[in-house]
Every structure is written in structure tokens, then in C-alpha cells.
């Protein structure tokens, strides 16, 4: 390849085209783009590159441009409300009470402000000639010529119209280019060298199969069907069309990672029904039947009643404390209350049923599934959310073992610093609230844990300690994904999903 | 009130089980306790617990109850409506305004928590100097009149339930009874109409010195509530005086502040906590939590439970307090030795295959809510409601969430609707639960929207999906109203329908506010692998 060409190879064909246009006196990128049949953004990008090399000088301006709002456009056609009232009033005036249309009423204040009319004894009386104001001129101008630079318009009147919501503005960037001496020289050099050195007849945009089969190639130069061609070089730094890959939901990636952690720690995954009888959701967990969490305000109840298993031992536990030395809740336990079905309020309903079916040690089980609470939607509450729950049942397990499992779990989740505070959950004793340390936030409560009460385990013949913990995953997702609004997880913004990088570490 | 430095208190309070609110004020901080500890609903109760936790005082707090002459007779007529009552007198109190407020707060918190919104427990506090003992607790005719608190005229009990703000709030508790509970003095003057409102006569003022306290309810927890109130007042310097409650079956002298006596097994405590604590360490840990505790010969502890504790049902409750008293921060976490092999649930394995396939087609995953409405799930989709399969919630919180979805596709169209400002084509899918006749089933739904969307596109996806799953379902014309006639198909396996796909009926698109053609598919994939079902 000729040496002369090398020196100037930084000047791509696009650069040359743009430079040529500028040389010919065109300074508006939009017009250049139109003439070259390319996008304005690539002209600007090319011009910026040329400016960096000192081949063109470039002037960037930002100005406010104004246009009519929907309401403004309407008034530009039919007249401002105050103008229309004047038309109705004629020279005689008109009683206020006759101006009934709410869209007209707003004009009464303006009539007075503009000094076009007085209001006396409930009657609007025109004053003076009410000649067209600057504001009306602007409305007419904007209607006629569309978006217009603010510099050409009366500022006072613009401000007024903007405050009435009749015009709106946006910032518009504008550019203008001029070629420098060096630019002229480079362009001449580039054109001469490409003409003289390679003898290229024409540029090729797209390589065809036949060119590959039958052409003689030398770099990007091609002898084909008796002529010499050059494959047009591209400015590889120019942006291309955006494409969007299919992706797993960022929240699902977090859930999948949590599943992996649980599997790595030797837990087996369990699942259960969304609809549960109160028996498994509450009673089996020793929640008294008058417990506030069972009320309509907090739980989604269904019309349906379910069959429940033999409940004698659960009833006995609630009423008298069974034979584990508990006082029980007293009162009387009603199986009918227990049959009422709910949308599960926690995955613990699935866990306790699983333990009741598998009462022999060891058991290590977990679930990550959706649960339901009767909560109004706001940025930090949704009526359904995912909960992770893990349990271990084995001979000789202790509260200190629970703390050990929690520490391991949170460390795997990436939280090195964990502390344990006393907690309270109706079905565990002792109970604990793990907190993790997060830079910038301090100690953040992340879940709850405890040892299942004997009142919970005994009625199902579970005779060894059950360590259990759970956490609402949404809260963790907010921390990890930097979300301020939990709803975004469920009411997906496609832009957010497209922009969230797959590589973001959970 | 505690006698310790503020920062020390804050730091330790968290380890006692309190949620400390954020506060920059010098002399004020919001602290929340768990609902199992109503004795911590008053500043007096918190101070008492903190004194133990900070080693300023330890062991069982002693409260003296002096004998008294005052009696209250319980008439058998209350048996049906509100049978249980506990009373006490507390004298020599100094009531500044904040103290009255603190007492009112405690009362309200107890009503809410322990009292289940007054149904189970309601508390009345009276200036005893305005009334003459002995008192009577009986069920009166609803036409009985007196001047209720905050009123100037007298109202019948019936009117109170209709007109007095408290009456309106709590009338439901007395629904269905033809006589209402009432406490009167020797002259027939009214102290209280429990659980609704006190009489104006016995209003507590800042010059009140001696209180009469009544706690009524339906459960023996009434006596705990009484203890919590009188112990808090005693912490404030009050002198507790006994009241004789004469019940039809015999008399009680209240309040009963004798501690409950438990014998617990040291070894059981050690093995539950998982830390090698001696009997003495356990006992001193409990004393810091204001229990009385001493090691007995053998391997037992004798534990005295303070009369205001309402949460001790089982020996493990005591062990938890021992662990708290010792300090959760001093326990050493130990990984359990239990060896097991983890197994993923088959449904999740299948889900992850489906996810891989759909992502490979260029579809974005979404995770919409499962709660929806009949309008979205059926009407907008032009699908018929089959009442036999719909799971409706009884008290929906908004008209948007009245049922659990039976199909995922409507949610995908809703997602398209809120994303019209983003470039097309948009291709999305969701995997998740639907409810079918109350049973949890697994669906996969996918949809694509852009100006060129047509049947061929979704047909290609369906074909490729089942090729990847190594399945060959039958494809026949469909009657699914969501899709356009002639460009819709059902998927059958062994003759029964498990999914459908097609180009959406333009009327469906219009009802979701969409103005571009779209195609979709939905399959109930757990039908394909019955072994993977719940």
C-alpha cells in the first residue's frame, strides 16, 4: 500500500465527504446529513473528529426553543379565553353568571389584569380597544412556524405564556462548522493521493459472494471483472444500531444465586401450594386463633374451606399446652377457623407441612417462593413478594448452630459482617434477627430466624430441634440492584431490563 | 430514669431486643419493642428492664401490696358478656401531665396488643376520690344513662354505642348482647362501661393522687394486664393497695403479684442454647433479665417469673431470656455437623431449561404480579370467566387485585402497555405460578410486539421451543378469544389442550391501549412433566 496513503488514512471517506461539504460553505450538520444521505449524529461525530485534528473549527450553541402546548395550540386557533369573553360581551358587557364554561372562566382574571374590562356589580364591562397583546402575537407565530428560537420572541410575554401552560420549551443544541486552512490542505492531499496512487475506480460498499469467488484481493483492494475497486473503509468508532439481547431478569438472577447457595450448603428444595388452609399457615405454627396477624387486614382470605389433617394434638397444644410443659394459649381452638383458606402469608406453611411429612432426622430443606400479604402497594411494600426460607432438623442441634448457619449463609451472599440481635416470631424460641453491615447504611436487618417452639414441633411427632430462618428477598434485591422502588421488580420497565448489565454481581 | 449514659443505653438496648429509631434529638429517641413484651410498652417498664441489662439492678423486682378495705362485687349477669375483672388501687401518685399521657399510652398499647383491640382486655383508670366503694360489676340494661368521658350530657349505653366516638369504634364487641357491662359505686354512680368508655365523673386530672384500676375481659390474661399497669405505677412511686373481688364462686384478692415459680433443666438450657453455661451463669443471666433465679442441687434452676411478664409459656421462653441476658453477641456461632446432599426441585430445573430456551430466542424475562382482576384476566382478553377455576380474595385491597391470575399473558400485555415509549420490537416472557381451581400450576407465557408481528413468528417460536424440549404436541385451530380467528392455534397433548398461541385479537390489543400488532403464546408446562408437579 502506498506510503502517502498511510499518512492520511486517518481521514476516512466519510470524513472526506463531510470536509468537502464544509469546504463548499455548508455549516449546518442537518443539511450536510441530508445531502450525504446519512444520520446527523454521524456528521457531528465526524466533524468532532475533524475538529480535534484541527481541520475544521466548530461552534456549539445551546438555546431554548419554544412550541405550543396542546392547550396553547387550541387558543392560537380560537383565541385566548379573555379575548373570547370580550367577543361575547360586545360593547354592552355581560353578567359574570353567564360565563359558565369553565375554560372561559379563567379569562375573567386576565381581562382585569390586562385592563381590557372592569367587573362591577357582577357584570363584565369592556374598557378601551383591547388591542392584540405580545402574547397573542407569539401564539400566532408559533402556530404558523412551529418550534421557534426564544431569542426571536418577547421574553416577558413568553414567561407569561409559559406560566399559563400554553407554551413549552426545550433546550436545543446547534452546531456550525467552518473549514480551517489545514483542513483545505489535507483534503486536497487526500484527494490527490487517492486519485494518483492506487488507480481505484470505484468504492464497494457490500462484498458479494461472487466477489469472493471470482475476485483477486490485495488487502481492501480488489481486481474484479477487469476493474480495480476499493472496499470503502468505515469509521469503526461510529456507533451502530442498538440491539438488545434476551436476558434473565436481574431479580431472577439473584433468586437463582440464592438457590445455588442453599444447594451448595446441602439443602433440598421444597415447594407447596399458594392456597393453604389456615391450619398450615397459622395453627400448625402455634399462632393463636385471635392473633392480629390472622386478621382480615393482613391476610388474603378466600371463600373456600379446606380439609385439614387430624388436628387433635394441635387443638390440645393450643388449648392446654400438650405434654411439653407449656401453658398453651387457653381458650378454645376451633377447627372451622383452621379450615379457612388463605393465600400463604409465608413459606413456613409449606415448611411445617414438609416437616410433618418427614419427622425423622436429618432434614435440611429450603424454599424460595412467592408469598402474599394484604398490603397496599407503595415503593417498599407489594402485596406479593418472594421469601427465602431454610430449615435444619437434626438430633442435638442448638441455637448456636443456627447462628453458625446464618453466618455461613450471609457470608456466601457476600456479607462478611453479621451480627445477631434478639427477635420475636410467634413460632420460634429463641428468636434472632440477623443484621448485616452495609457500607453507607450501617447495620441492616435482613431476615429472621429461630428454633421452632416445642408447641410447634411436638404435635407432629418432630422430636429434634428445628432451626429455621427466612428473609424477604425483595429487600435484598433493592439493596443489590440499587432500587428505590420495589414495584420495578414486578412492573418491569423494558428500558431498565435492557440496560441492567448481566455482569452486575449479585 | 435509668441512671446510665445515653450512648451506653442505645448500644445495649439493641441487644436487649429493641428497634432503635433514628433520632438526632438530644433528649428523645423512638424505641420499638416486640409484641410479646407488653411490659415494655411503658417508659417505667423499659427503665426496669434496662437497669437489669446494664447491671444497675438485678433479680426479681419486689412490689409490696398493702391490704385494703375496698371491694368489688361481680354480679353473675356479666358471665355471658364479659366475665373476667381484675382491680387494684394505687395511691400517692404525683401526676404531672406527661405522667398521665404515659399512663394513657400504656393503656392504649395494652388494648391493642394483649387486649386484641379491647375484645380480650380493656383497662379503665379512675380518680377514686370521686366515688364511694364498694363497687359493683354487672350487666345493665342498654337504656341505662350516665355522662361518658368527654361529654357533658348523660347518654344511654345504647346511645353511647351510636354517638360517642369510642362507642362507634368498639360497638362491635358488644354486638348480639342484650345487656352491657357496667361498673358502679355504692351510690350507683358510673365508673366505667367496659370495654367502651369511662364515666366523666372519675376522669384522671393532674391533681389526682389515688387511682382505682379496672381491667375487664374474656381471658385470664386480664390479670397480667392489671399487673403490668400496677407495676409500672409502682415504679413511678405509687403504693399498691389490694382490692377484694367477690365473685359468685368465691373471692380473689388482687393484684396478685406473686411470681410464677418454674423449675427448669440446666442441661436442656445448655443444649438448646448450644453454649457451655454453668448453672450459676444461667442464673445470673436470668437475674439480669429481672427474673429471680437460683441453682438447685442436682441439675435444676428455680426461676421466679416477674408478675408483669405475659410471655413465659414454656421453659424455652426462659432459656431465650437467659441467652439474651448472657448476650447474643457473646454466643459463638457453630456450623452444625448435619451432613446432607442438596437436591433442586424438579420444577425449578425445568424452569431453568425453559428460561434458557426463551432467552436464546431473544426474549427478556419479566416477573409480573400473580394478583390481578377479572377485568384484566378475562374481560380485556375476551376470555370467558370460568367461576369454577377462579381464586378470588375475599377483601381485596384494590380493584386491580381481586383474584390470582389464571393466565400470565394479560400481565405481559400490561407490561407492553407501560413500555410503549421504548423501541420495538419488544419480546418478553414470564415463567410462574397460576391458580387453576385453587391449585398451583406452572405456566410459560411469551409475547412479541412490533409492526411486523404475525402468526409465522410465534409459530416458529412454538416449533423451536418444543424441538428443544424434544416434544411433539399436536397443533390444531383454536377458539381462544384472546387471539384472532384463523390465526390462532391450540396445543394438545394426548388430545387435551395445554396451551395456545397466535396473533392477538386487535380488540384485545385496543383494550390494553396498544397500537402495534403482537403475538403471544402460553403453555401450562407442568402438564408435560406430571412428575414435576407440586
Portion of chain B with pLDDT greater than 90, in percent: 79
Which residues of chain A are within 8 Å of residue B315 when distances are taken between CB atoms? 325
CB contact under 8 A, A394 and B338: yes
Is residue B41 domain-shared with residue B75, that is, in the same domain? Answer: no
CA distance B96 to chain A (A): 34
Which residues of chain B are within 8 Å of residue A467 when distances are taken between CB atoms? 336
In 10 A of CB B179, how many CB atoms? Answer: 17
Tell whether B448 is covered by a domain: yes
CA distance B236 to chain A (A): 28
> Using 50, 70 and 90 to split pLDDT, how confident is the model at B412?
very high
Residue A295: predicted pLDDT: 81
Q: What contacts 24+ positions apart, CB below 8 Å, involve B62-67?
A: B63/B230, B63/B231, B63/B234, B63/B240, B63/B257, B63/B307, B64/B239, B64/B240, B65/B240, B65/B241, B65/B242, B65/B255, B65/B257, B66/B239, B66/B240, B66/B241, B66/B242, B67/B241, B67/B242
Residue B23: predicted pLDDT: 55
Element (H, E) at B427: strand B426-436
Tell whether B337 is covered by a domain: no
A236 burial (CB, 10 Å; 0-12 / 13-18 / 19+) is: exposed
Is residue A335 domain-shared with residue A411, that is, in the same domain? Answer: yes
Residue A82: predicted pLDDT: 87
Is residue A281 domain-shared with residue A344, that is, in the same domain? Answer: yes
How many interface pairs between A and B have CB atoms less than 8 angstroms apart?
A: 261
Minimum mean pLDDT among A218-222, A421-425, B443-447, B487-491: which range? A218-222
Query: Among partner residues B16, B273, B419, which is closest to A493 by beta-carbon distance?
Result: B419
Residue A506: predicted pLDDT: 54
Q: Does the pLDDT at position B25 exceed 90?
A: no
Q: Does the pLDDT at position A505 exceed 80?
A: no
d(CA B215, CA B107): 10
B483 half-sphere exposure, CB direction, 13 A CA radius: 25
- Report the domain count for chain A: 3
Is residue B369 domain-shared with residue B307, that is, in the same domain? Answer: no
Is residue B221 domain-shared with residue B320, that is, in the same domain? Answer: no
CB contact under 8 A, B336 and A331: no
Is residue B384 domain-shared with residue B448, that is, in the same domain? Answer: yes
Query: Among partner residues A343, A405, A490, which is closest to B368 by beta-carbon distance?
Result: A490
Taking CA–CA distances from A424, the nearest residue in chain B reads: B34
Is residue A261 domain-shared with residue A211, that is, in the same domain? Answer: no
CB contact under 8 A, B394 and A498: no
Which residues of chain B are within 8 Å of residue A374 when distances are taken between CB atoms? 393, 395, 397
Q: Which residues of A239-312 form beta strands (DSSP E)?
A: 268-269, 275-277, 301-305
Tell whether B38 is covered by a domain: yes
Q: What contacts 24+ positions apart, CB below 8 Å, involve A366-370?
A: A366/A259, A366/A262, A366/A267, A366/A268, A366/A269, A366/A270, A366/A390, A366/A391, A367/A269, A367/A270, A367/A271, A367/A272, A368/A255, A368/A258, A368/A259, A368/A262, A368/A269, A368/A473, A369/A271, A369/A272, A370/A274, A370/B370, A370/B432, A370/B433
Is residue B45 domain-shared with residue B75, that is, in the same domain? Answer: no
Query: B533: Cβ–Cβ under 8 A, 6 or more apart, which residues?
Result: B347, B442, B526
**A167 compared with A45, residue with greater pLDDT:** A167
- pLDDT, tens digit (0-9, with 9 covering 90-100), for A201-211: 677 878 889 99
Is residue A287 domain-shared with residue A409, that is, in the same domain? Answer: yes
Task: List the end-to-end C-alpha distance of chain B, in Å, as a whole number.
Answer: 57
Q: Does the pLDDT at position A197 exceed 60?
A: no
CA distance A344 to chain B (A): 12
Query: Among partner residues A248, A343, A429, which is closest to B404 by beta-carbon distance?
Result: A343
Of A142, A157, A174, the residue at which a domain comes to its end is A174
Query: Which of B111, B121, B274 to substitute to test the interface with A, most A CBs within 10 Å?
Result: B274
Tell whether A93 is covered by a domain: yes
**A471 compared with A1, residue with greater pLDDT:** A471
Taking CA–CA distances from B423, the nearest residue in chain A reads: A495
Is residue B359 domain-shared with residue B478, that is, in the same domain? Answer: yes
Across A57-83, average pLDDT = 86
Q: Does the pLDDT at position A8 exceed 50?
A: no
Q: Tell me which residue of A463, A467, A465 sits closest to A323, measured CA to CA.
A: A463
Q: Does the pLDDT at position A2 exceed 70?
A: no
Residue B218: predicted pLDDT: 92
Residue A4: predicted pLDDT: 39
Is residue A359 domain-shared with residue A476, that is, in the same domain? Answer: yes
Q: In angstroms, what CA-CA distances link A94 with A69, A97, A122?
A: 30, 8, 9
Residue with grid cell 384472546, as numbered in its chain: B482
Tell whether B385 is covered by a domain: yes
Looking at residue A60, the DSSP 8-state letter turns out to be E
Q: Which of residues 476-505 of A touch B (CB under 8 A)?
A: 489-495, 497-498
Which residues of chain A are within 8 Å of residue B427 when distances are taken between CB atoms? 246
Q: No. of H helices and E strands in chain A? A: 20, 21
Residue A3: predicted pLDDT: 42
Which residues of chain B are within 8 Å of residue A341 when distances are taken between CB atoms? 438
Tell whether B336 is covered by a domain: no
Is residue A166 domain-shared with residue A194, that is, in the same domain? Answer: no
CB contact under 8 A, B440 and A275: yes
Which CATH number fits the domain that encloses residue B435?
Answer: 3.30.930.10
Q: Is the Cβ of A83 closer than 8 Å to some Cβ of chain B?
A: no
Which residues of chain A are within 8 Å of residue B313 when distances are taken between CB atoms? 321, 326-328, 455
Q: Does the pLDDT at position B213 exceed 90?
A: yes
Taking CA–CA distances from A367, the nearest residue in chain B reads: B345
CB contact under 8 A, B272 and A403: no
d(CA B91, CA B112): 26
CA dihedral (B270, B274, B276, B280) positive or negative? negative
Residue B533: predicted pLDDT: 63
Exposure letters B35-51 (e unless 16+ CB within 10 A, then b): bbbbbbbbbbbbbbbbb
Q: Dig out the grid coordinates for B477 from the structure.
A: 385451530
Q: In angstroms, what CA-CA distances link B376 with A14, A122, B401, B403?
A: 52, 51, 10, 10
CA distance B37 to chain A (A): 9
d(CA B214, CA B228): 12
Exposure letters B215-237 (e unless 16+ CB within 10 A, then b): bbbbbebbbbbbbbbbbbbbbbe
Is residue B168 domain-shared with residue B205, that is, in the same domain? Answer: yes
Evaluate whether A300 touches B394 at the Cβ level (below 8 Å). Answer: yes
CB contact under 8 A, B339 and A326: no
> Using 50, 70 and 90 to split pLDDT, how confident is the model at A7?
very low
Is residue B94 domain-shared with residue B224, that is, in the same domain? Answer: yes
Is residue B317 domain-shared with residue B196, that is, in the same domain? Answer: no
Tell whether B338 is covered by a domain: no
Query: Which of A385, A434, A436, A494 to substitute to test the interface with B, most B CBs within 10 Å?
Result: A494
Residue with grid cell 374590562, as numbered in its chain: A117
Cis upstream peptide for B255 (omega within 30°): yes
Residue A116: predicted pLDDT: 87
Q: Is the Cβ of A373 closer than 8 Å to some Cβ of chain B?
A: no
Looking at residue B60, the DSSP 8-state letter turns out to be P
In 10 A of CB A186, how many CB atoms? Answer: 23
- Report the domain count for chain B: 4
Is residue B296 domain-shared with residue B394, that is, in the same domain? Answer: no
Domain range holding A186?
3-55+180-231
CB contact under 8 A, B323 and A246: no
CA distance A77 to chain B (A): 29
CB contact under 8 A, A422 and B335: no
d(CA B215, CA B272): 37
Q: Is the Cβ of A381 closer than 8 Å to some Cβ of chain B?
A: no
Which CATH number fits the domain that encloses residue A139?
Answer: 1.10.10
Query: A149: Cβ–Cβ under 8 A, 6 or more apart, which residues?
Result: A63, A64, A65, A66, A172
> Using 50, 70 and 90 to split pLDDT, how confident is the model at A482?
confident
Query: Among partner residues B341, B398, B435, which is closest to A275 by beta-carbon distance?
Result: B435
CB contact under 8 A, B415 and A494: yes
Tell whether B339 is covered by a domain: no
Residue B510: predicted pLDDT: 96
- pLDDT, tens digit (0-9, with 9 covering 90-100), for A348-361: 999 999 999 999 99
Pairing state of beta strands A227-231 and A202-204?
parallel
Which CATH number fits the domain that encloses residue B149?
Answer: 3.50.40.10
Evaluate whether A153 touches A166 at the Cβ level (below 8 Å). Answer: no
Q: Dig out the grid coordinates for B243 from the structure.
A: 382490692
CB contact under 8 A, B34 and A424: yes
Portion of chain A with pLDDT greater than 70, in percent: 95
Q: Dig out the grid coordinates for B14 from the structure.
A: 439493641
CB contact under 8 A, B329 and A420: yes
Is residue B485 domain-shared with residue B523, that is, in the same domain? Answer: yes
CB contact under 8 A, B314 and A492: no
Residue A396: predicted pLDDT: 94
- pLDDT, tens digit (0-9, with 9 covering 90-100), for A301-345: 999 999 999 999 999 999 999 999 999 998 899 999 999 999 999
Query: Among partner residues A252, A275, A364, which is closest to B367 by beta-carbon distance?
Result: A252
Q: Does the pLDDT at position B67 exceed 80?
A: yes
Is residue A467 domain-shared with residue A387, that is, in the same domain? Answer: yes
Is residue B183 domain-shared with residue B321, that is, in the same domain? Answer: no
Is residue A134 domain-shared with residue A186, that is, in the same domain? Answer: no
Residue B4: predicted pLDDT: 65
**B284 compared with A120, residue with greater pLDDT:** B284
Pairing state of beta strands B426-436 and B364-365?
parallel
CA distance A268 to chain B (A): 4
Domain range holding B483?
346-532
Q: Which of residues 419-478 of A touch B (CB under 8 A)?
A: 419-424, 426, 429-432, 451, 453-455, 465, 467
Q: Which of residues 259-318 of A touch B (CB under 8 A)?
A: 259, 262-275, 290, 292, 296, 300-304
- pLDDT, tens digit (0-9, with 9 covering 90-100), for A222-236: 898 888 888 888 888
d(CA B37, CA B265): 24
Confidence check on the interface: ipTM exceeds 0.95, yes or no: no
Is residue A346 domain-shared with residue A456, that is, in the same domain? Answer: yes
d(CA B221, CA B223): 5
Pairing state of beta strands B71-74 and B135-140?
parallel
Is residue A200 domain-shared with residue A257, that is, in the same domain? Answer: no
Mean pLDDT, chain B, rounded, equals 92
Of B254, B287, B309, the residue at which a domain comes to its end is B254
Q: Is the Cβ of A221 closer than 8 Å to some Cβ of chain B?
A: no
Amino acid at each position: 500500500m502506498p506510503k502517502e496513503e498511510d499518512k492520511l488514512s486517518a481521514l476516512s471517506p466519510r470524513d472526506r465527504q463531510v470536509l468537502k461539504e464544509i469546504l463548499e460553505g455548508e455549516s449546518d450538520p442537518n443539511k450536510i446529513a441530508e445531502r450525504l444521505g446519512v444520520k446527523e449524529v454521524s456528521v457531528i461525530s465526524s466533524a468532532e473528529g475533524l475538529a480535534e485534528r484541527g481541520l475544521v473549527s466548530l461552534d456549539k450553541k445551546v438555546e431554548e426553543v419554544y412550541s405550543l402546548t396542546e392547550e396553547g395550540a387550541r387558543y392560537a386557533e380560537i383565541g385566548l379565553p379573555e379575548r373570547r369573553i370580550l367577543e361575547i360581551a360586545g360593547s354592552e358587557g355581560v353578567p359574570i353568571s353567564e360565563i359558565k364554561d369553565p375554560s372561559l372562566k379563567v379569562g375573567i382574571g386576565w381581562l382585569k389584569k390586562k385592563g381590557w374590562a372592569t367587573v362591577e356589580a357582577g357584570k363584565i364591562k369592556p374598557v378601551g380597544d383591547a388591542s392584540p397583546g405580545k402574547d397573542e402575537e407569539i401564539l400566532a407565530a408559533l402556530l404558523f412556524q412551529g418550534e421557534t428560537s426564544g431569542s426571536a420572541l418577547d421574553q416577558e410575554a413568553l414567561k407569561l405564556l409559559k406560566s399559563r401552560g400554553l407554551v413549552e420549551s426545550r433546550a436545543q443544541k446547534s452546531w456550525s462548522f467552518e473549514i480551517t486552512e489545514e483542513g483545505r490542505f489535507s483534503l486536497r492531499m487526500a484527494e490527490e493521493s487517492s486519485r494518483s496512487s492506487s488507480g481505484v475506480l470505484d468504492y464497494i460498499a457490500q462484498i458479494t459472494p461472487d466477489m469472493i469467488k471470482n475476485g483477486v484481493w490485495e488487502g481492501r483492494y480488489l481486481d474484479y471483472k477487469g476493474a480495480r475497486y476499493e472496499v470503502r473503509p468505515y469509521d469503526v468508532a461510529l456507533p451502530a444500531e442498538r440491539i438488545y439481547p434476551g436476558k434473565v431478569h436481574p431479580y431472577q438472577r439473584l433468586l437463582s444465586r440464592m438457590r445455588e447457595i442453599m444447594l451448595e450448603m446441602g439443602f433440598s428444595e421444597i415447594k407447596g401450594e399458594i392456597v393453604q388452609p389456615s391450619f398450615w399457615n397459622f395453627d400448625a405454627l402455634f399462632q393463636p386463633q385471635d392473633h392480629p396477624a390472622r386478621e382480615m387486614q393482613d391476610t388474603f382470605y378466600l371463600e373456600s374451606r379446606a380439609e385439614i389433617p387430624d388436628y387433635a394434638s394441635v387443638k390440645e397444644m393450643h388449648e392446654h399446652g400438650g405434654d411439653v410443659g407449656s401453658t398453651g394459649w387457653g381458650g378454645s381452638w376451633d377447627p372451622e377457623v383452621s379450615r379457612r383458606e388463605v393465600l400463604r402469608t409465608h413459606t413456613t406453611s409449606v415448611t411445617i407441612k414438609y416437616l410433618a411429612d418427614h419427622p425423622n432426622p436429618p432434614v435440611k430443606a429450603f424454599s424460595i417462593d412467592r408469598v402474599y400479604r394484604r398490603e397496599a402497594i407503595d415503593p417498599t411494600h407489594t402485596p406479593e413478594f418472594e421469601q427465602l426460607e431454610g430449615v435444619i432438623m437434626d438430633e442435638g442441634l442448638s441455637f448456636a448452630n443456627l447462628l453458625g448457619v446464618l453466618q455461613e449463609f450471609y457470608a456466601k451472599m457476600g456479607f462478611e459482617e453479621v451480627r445477631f440481635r434478639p427477635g420475636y416470631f410467634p413460632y420460634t424460641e429463641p428468636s434472632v434477627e440477623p443484621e448485616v453491615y452495609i457500607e453507607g447504611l450501617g447495620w441492616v436487618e435482613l431476615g429472621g430466624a429461630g428454633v421452632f417452639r416445642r408447641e410447634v414441633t411436638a404435635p407432629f411427632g418432630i422430636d429434634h430441634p428445628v432451626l429455621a430462618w427466612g428473609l424477604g428477598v425483595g429487600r435484598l434485591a433493592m439493596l443489590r440492584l440499587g432500587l428505590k422502588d420495589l414495584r420495578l421488580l414486578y412492573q418491569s420497565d423494558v428500558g431498565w431490563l435492557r440496560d441492567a448489565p448481566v455482569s452486575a454481581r449479585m | 430514669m435509668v441512671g446510665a449514659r445515653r450512648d451506653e443505653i442505645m448500644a445495649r438496648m439493641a441487644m436487649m431486643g429493641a428497634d432503635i429509631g433514628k433520632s438526632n434529638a438530644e433528649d428523645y429517641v423512638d424505641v420499638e419493642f416486640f409484641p410479646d413484651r407488653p411490659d415494655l410498652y411503658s417508659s417505667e417498664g423499659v427503665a426496669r428492664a434496662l437497669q437489669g441489662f446494664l447491671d444497675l439492678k438485678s433479680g426479681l423486682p419486689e412490689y409490696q401490696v398493702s391490704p385494703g378495705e375496698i371491694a368489688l362485687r361481680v354480679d353473675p349477669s356479666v358471665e355471658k358478656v364479659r366475665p373476667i375483672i381484675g382491680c387494684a388501687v394505687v395511691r400517692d401518685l404525683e401526676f404531672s401531665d406527661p405522667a398521665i399521657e404515659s399512663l394513657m399510652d400504656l393503656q392504649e398499647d395494652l388494648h391493642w396488643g394483649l387486649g386484641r383491640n379491647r375484645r380480650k382486655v380493656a383497662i379503665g383508670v379512675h380518680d377514686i376520690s370521686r366515688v364511694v366503694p364498694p363497687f359493683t360489676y354487672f350487666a345493665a340494661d342498654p337504656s341505662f344513662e350516665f355522662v361518658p368521658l368527654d361529654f357533658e350530657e348523660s347518654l344511654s349505653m345504647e346511645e353511647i354505642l351510636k354517638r360517642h366516638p369510642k362507642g362507634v369504634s368498639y360497638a362491635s364487641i358488644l354486638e348480639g348482647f342484650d345487656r352491657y357491662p357496667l361498673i358502679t359505686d355504692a351510690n350507683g354512680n358510673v365508673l366505667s362501661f367496659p370495654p367502651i368508655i369511662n364515666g366523666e365523673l372519675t376522669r384522671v386530672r393532674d391533681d389526682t393522687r389515688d387511682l382505682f384500676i379496672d381491667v375487664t375481659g374474656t381471658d385470664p390474661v386480664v390479670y397480667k394486664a392489671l399487673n403490668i399497669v400496677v407495676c409500672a405505677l409502682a415504679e413511678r412511686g405509687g403504693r399498691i393497695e389490694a382490692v377484694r373481688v367477690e365473685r359468685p364462686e368465691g373471692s380473689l384478692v388482687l393484684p396478685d403479684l406473686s411470681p410464677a415459680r418454674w423449675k427448669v433443666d440446666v442441661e436442656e438450657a445448655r443444649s438448646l442454647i448450644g453454649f457451655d453455661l454453668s448453672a450459676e451463669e444461667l442464673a445470673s443471666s436470668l437475674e439480669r433479665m429481672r427474673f429471680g433465679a437460683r441453682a438447685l442441687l442436682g441439675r435444676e434452676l428455680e426461676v421466679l417469673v416477674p408478675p408483669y411478664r405475659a410471655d413465659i409459656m414454656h421453659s424455652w421462653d426462659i432459656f431465650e431470656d437467659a441467652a439474651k441476658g448472657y448476650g447474643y453477641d457473646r454466643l459463638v456461632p457453630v456450623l452444625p455437623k448435619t451432613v446432607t446432599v442438596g437436591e433442586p426441585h424438579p420444577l425449578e430445573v425445568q424452569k431453568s431449561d425453559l428460561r434458557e430456551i426463551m432467552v436464546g430466542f431473544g426474549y427478556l424475562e419479566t416477573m409480573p404480579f400473580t394478583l390481578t382482576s377479572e377485568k384484566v384476566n378475562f374481560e380485556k382478553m375476551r376470555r370467558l370467566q370460568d367461576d369454577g377455576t377462579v381464586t378470588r380474595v375475599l377483601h381485596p385491597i384494590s380493584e386491580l387485585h381481586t383474584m390470582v391470575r389464571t393466565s400470565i399473558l394479560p400481565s405481559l400485555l400490561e407490561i407492553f402497555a407501560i413500555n410503549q415509549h421504548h423501541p420495538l420490537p419488544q419480546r418478553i416472557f414470564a415463567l410462574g405460578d397460576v391458580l387453576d381451581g385453587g391449585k398451583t400450576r406452572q405456566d410459560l407465557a411469551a409475547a412479541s410486539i412490533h409492526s411486523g408481528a404475525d402468526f409465522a413468528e410465534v409459530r416458529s417460536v412454538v416449533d423451536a421451543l418444543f424441538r428443544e424440549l424434544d416434544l411433539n404436541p399436536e397443533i390444531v385451530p383454536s377458539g381462544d378469544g384472546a387471539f384472532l380467528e384463523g390465526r390462532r392455534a391450540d396445543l394438545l397433548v394426548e388430545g387435551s389442550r395445554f396451551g395456545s398461541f397466535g396473533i392477538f385479537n386487535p380488540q384485545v390489543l385496543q383494550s390494553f391501549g396498544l397500537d402495534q400488532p403482537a403475538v403471544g403464546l402460553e403453555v401450562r408446562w407442568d402438564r408435560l412433566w406430571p412428575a414435576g408437579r407440586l
